[in-house]
Structures are given as C-alpha cells and as structure tokens.
Amino acid sequence: MQLVLATNNRDKIREIKHLLEDLPATLLTADDFLDFPDPEETGITLVENAILKARAIARFTEHAALADDSGLEVDALGGAPGVYSSRYAGEHVTYKDNYTKLLREMAGVPEQQRTARFRCVMAIVWEDSSVETVEGVAEGMITTAVQGDQGFGYDPVFFYPPLNKRFSEMTLEEKNQVSHRGKALQAARELIIRRLSRERG
C-alpha cells in the first residue's frame, strides 16, 4: 500500500510518520511529488476540511491519502478558535502570533475557567474513493505564560493535567501517547491495518 500524507506541514508529517512508519505501507509526502497542492480549507468543520484535503490529494496523486484537521476549542471563548486555529491571528501567521493572540484574549480569565481541548479529525480517502474518518480529543487548560520548546502550534500554552506538563514540554513519544493527533492516529492505524488485511485476503 502507498499512502500519501496530505499536508505540507513538516511538524505534522514528523508526528504522523512516528506513529505509522512501522506499518507495511509506503508513506509518501509532498517531497515525493512535483507541484504538490495545498488545498484551501473551505469547510466549516474539522471533518469537512480533513475530507476535503484527503480527497484533493488522493485525486492529485492517484494514491490513498490521509489528511487531518485539528483545532483548539477554548471554553471561555465559546469554542474558538476551533476550525480557524491555524489562522486565528490572520493569514500566513506564525505559531507565536496565534498563541500570543490567544493569551491576550484570555487575559483575566481565572484558572478554573481556562479549560480547553484539542480535537483532531483524520480522514483517509482510499484508492476506490471510499472515505473513513476517526477523531481524537485531548482535554487540558490554557496557561497564562509560554513555556517549553517541543511541539508546535499552541503546544507552549496547552497544559495537560494527567502528565502535569504542557504539550511543549513532552517528548514526541509522550505526546503521541496522549495528544489529540496521537489518539486519532492510533485509530487511523487500525483502519490501515484492517485495509491491509482485507487486501491480502
């Protein structure tokens, strides 16, 4: 099986490869193709965006494709930034721009009201054009200060109580055990393994 990771985000590619590289499947990335597209995320839900990206890349490469869409849902902000997490501070912004805006929006919110969750939806579009989706969720808190140098995105301000650490303070192994993307990837692994079993008859 050849499976294309439908993203241009190298941080995501690193996390996804870490959990899938032991499978008997060839993982392809943007580096394996000329003019690899970057589909516009026009959906209004994580599910819509994940499927949209996987479909576009499956069509372009003519291989099965796996895409994810992730969002941070902050209760004190009514679930924002949600589906707009990657462009919360505007288009073509840095991770720091986004979490700096978040901390500004959360200024003065007491600790017990800083609850939030990361949500990740993964979609696989198979070569027969059928689609399967899975989801992972990680519950935590938004901190008042930035700390840690691992991870990416909002990791420096997302505190995960069970491990008493921010995501940015975890090793890749630790994060993949408990994160929204790690949980979704574990479920995606099962889909891939089932598909491989079926194909081998």
| Residue spans per domain, the chain | 2-199
Per-residue model confidence (pLDDT) at position 200: 79
Q: Which residue has the higher pLDDT, 114 or 9?
A: 114
> Average pLDDT, stretch 74-97?
95
Indicate the residue type of 78: G
What percent of the chain is predicted at pLDDT more than 90? Answer: 88
CA atoms within 13 A on the CB side of 146: 16
Indicate the residue type of 70: S
What percent of the chain is predicted at pLDDT more than 70? Answer: 100
pLDDT higher than threshold 90 for residue 7: yes
Per-residue model confidence (pLDDT) at position 199: 81
Per-residue model confidence (pLDDT) at position 19: 87
pLDDT higher than threshold 90 for residue 90: yes
Give Cα 169 distance to the centre of its chain.
18
Q: Residue 65: what are its φ and ψ, rounded to 5°?
A: -135, 145
Q: In whole numbers, what is the pLDDT of the chain averaged over residues?
A: 95
Q: Which residue has the higher pLDDT, 148 or 198?
A: 148
Q: How far is CA 1 from CA 8, 14, 29, 63, 65, in A?
A: 21, 20, 14, 9, 11
> Average pLDDT, stretch 21-31?
93
Per-residue model confidence (pLDDT) at position 93: 94
Per-residue model confidence (pLDDT) at position 198: 86
Provide CATH code, domain 2-199.
3.90.950.10
Per-residue model confidence (pLDDT) at position 201: 67
Between CA 63 and CA 182 the distance in angstroms is 23
Give the residue numbers annotated as catalytic, written as ranges.
69
**pTM for the whole thing?**
0.91
